[in-house]
Structure 1
């Protein structure tokens, strides 16, 4: 029954590994969740954020003070599940008002077993993370002992070196048509949006893929076949695609076993376009190194400069790791985009092979549409 009655709300403790404590209230009932505490600066788009597989293993804090006011709807799903361990907000709105809404946020989180907490100073938490860096944390309504919770947070393995992709990648290949996944292991089930049988065939590696990446590829006339992250290079080549797409995904790129070797084997054989984790994996395949950012880039207002055009794009981002600029071979790889906040690498293009990538999310959902032109560049690359 919804909206949830306020008398049902219960105390929740948020504990960070450095001993910092916040007290709030659960708006989804009882629970306990452990993960990396991060923050997102988007003013809206919380449903897309929650259903983005890149947030696997994380506890997400929204900086915008009121969340839940427009509810949840089936059209804005970016995957088939909810991925953060917990969701932290300043104030939860239990009375959504939007013609598209089919249920309130609390009910949505409860369905997927995700703990929702409100009623604490999210600004203080965000300021602490910005100063100290993203860190391990725990949220609980079950254990209210501060020392016990801090110890649990400290003992958690964290994200560095872990293979988080294996938790979200599909188990079997599937196609995409009519704005939904279709079962099947070859392009016979993958249709473009206009059912064009002569459309470009794209194999998309699922590292934690968002549906809007598939939607846009289909809208551009591509037939898309999604494959598990563990798919071999030879299996991809046997499908004879026109291009290869490397999706976004969660965690540390260096923790994803075997995939870098697979992509390195595919370099130069087919055009490749990578986004977010796909960008990082492509960078590792080039021979570069990755590193963990202090508190990551998460939100829909990240400024990125396109070094090839001089234009500034406002982008949607969600990543905690980045490619080390100094480890790139400038003779082979050209940096095409940089983040204007910290000058980190936001885009690369190989000088010898048809391969390029960006760290941010040109498919938006949520966020600005400034960078959707990159999908057109991928189409042009497959035409050559």
Structure 2
């Protein structure tokens, strides 16, 4: 048999959507990671999200452990290039605040939100908003009652029962947009728990070895668990939980899926902001035009298309190359440094030309051939004009923040 025709069978599951990313139901296996910044640090979190997008991440999770974090999410969501999942622990009201902030999904841990009325309140609100929830069972935070039931130890049966209990609460309120994980730091325990869960439900499954540790041992440990299950057709979305920069998690996930033939390799990794109130161009059109212009060129770069010069170069500073619109001009940047200004109509052509130059000559040569200080001054001038014209809150994020603050009472 031709090696190129060998594929792993995929378990048939229901399909849900996290933002515009399909999960399950035959969709490509998605790659997830989690920000390590304080969510209230909006700019720092967005920079990390853009770096994750450039590294191949499809979905990103941010903690929502306090109202300040929910306020941060209200400002982050409209500027994020990736769907945002809010990570909720202990306080069910944080789930309500996160949904008000506009997130694309939630992760709930049955081990630390245990009151049925709280669980069902969150599920009901998610149902009404059309948002998915991940039931995130963790071997290290199992419900004490289940821990005791199974002899004072974590077992695959205990983890699966935890997930199914939570699922039953969701069923009571008619909520079904669910994916499930049963993570553990012990690889054989994690593998067996997912095997049992796959037999018990047809909901999509999120794979991971929790607390895998730092590379290289953490990479080996996570790969052992995730790859074993993927080879058996189990798993619809994955995360490497490493003690490292989350960008390493995204890269590891992409490399694993490519190695298993479960995701196609790309010549170019083009990321784009989702557009917002400050965008100066039709970002979708420019991104599509750029993809068409790059075509089948063998250019293994990460390229960003940003809607405005106010935040673009900073948020996508880890991309190899990018362009941000501002006042009918395109501001080119390389690794976050402004390098040139071109007419808006020439943005795509300039992207391709610079990409080809970088591939042939390298980033240092690209930066050396221009006056970066002059390009920076031009970008700052357009940035200031945009802020004067559209204000600092073109996305109306502060209105959501005020609603979230009202939840204090």
TM-score (norm 1): 0.24
Higher helix proportion (structure 1 or 2): 2
- Structure with greater strand percent: 1
